[in-house]
């Protein structure tokens, strides 16, 4: 049986769950829906949610549904954050409304429009803190921002996740051969 799927999901105070064709999770930060595949059902039990499956052929969906449900419950109660750092001389970002304007060494500034539900704060022009309730959407937005200028392997300049470990390559040596 799925080890992930067996774990019960604790329900924080203020989170309301409606079970139907889809699972609707409402909390202080907003609403999220989780698709419920056939063969997997969710049951409420004294302050927790439990994910059950009808047979072993639904094992993969069992763990997936439990993980998506747990992420939705956490998202509407506390939310998620992703942090990015901009490294490089002259590289910076600023927020104007729901648009982030990046200066990343290209001949032009890059305007990145944030989707609804994702917020961004910029500290010291080089540290971005993204926050939102949908974990998947937040991760995708962070990946899209990183792809604007991924860290290059020689000087490690570019946009990276905070705490991301990068491997630096050794550059050319100046031994001029004939």
The answer to whether residue 129 is domain-embedded is yes
Q: What is the pLDDT of residues 72-101, one digit of tens each?
A: 999 898 889 999 999 889 899 999 888 999
pLDDT band at 141 (very low <50, low <70, confident <90, very high): very high
Give the other-Cβ count within 10 Å of 172's Cβ: 6
Q: What average pLDDT is seen over the chain?
A: 87
Domain CATH for 50 = 3.90.930.12
When mean pLDDT is compared across 1-5, 138-142, 163-167, the lowest value belongs to 1-5
* Nearest CA among 42, 43, 49 for reference residue 9: 49
**DSSP classification of residue 105:** S
The answer to whether residue 49 is domain-embedded is yes
Number of domains in the chain: 2
Question: Quick one: 34 and 61 in the same domain?
Answer: yes
Average pLDDT over residues 8-32: 87
Average pLDDT over residues 27-51: 87
Per-residue pLDDT, 80: 92
pTM given for the model: 0.83
The answer to whether residue 175 is domain-embedded is no
Residues 6+ apart with CB under 8 A from 159: 84, 85, 86, 87, 91, 104, 145, 146, 148, 149, 150, 151
């Amino acid at each position: 049986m799925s080890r992930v799927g067996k774990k019960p999901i604790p329900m924080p105070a203020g989170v309301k769950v409606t079970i139907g064709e889809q699972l609707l999770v409402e909390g202080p930060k907003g609403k999220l829906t989780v698709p419920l595949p056939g063969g997997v059902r969710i049951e409420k039990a004294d302050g927790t949610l439990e994910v059950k499956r009808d047979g072993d052929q639904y094992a993969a969906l069992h763990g997936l549904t439990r993980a998506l449900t747990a992420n939705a419950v956490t998202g509407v109660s506390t939310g998620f954050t992703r942090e990015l750092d901009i490294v490089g001389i002259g590289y910076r970002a600023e927020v104007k409304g729901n648009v982030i304007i990046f200066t990343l060494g290209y001949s032009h500034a890059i305007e990145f429009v944030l989707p609804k539900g994702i917020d961004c704060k910029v500290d010291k022009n080089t540290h971005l803190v993204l926050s939102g309730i949908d974990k998947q959407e937040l991760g995708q937005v962070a990946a899209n921002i990183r792809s604007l200028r991924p860290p290059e392997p020689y000087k490690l300049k570019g946009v990276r996740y905070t705490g991301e470990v990068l491997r630096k390559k050794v550059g050319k040596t100046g031994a001029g051969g004939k």
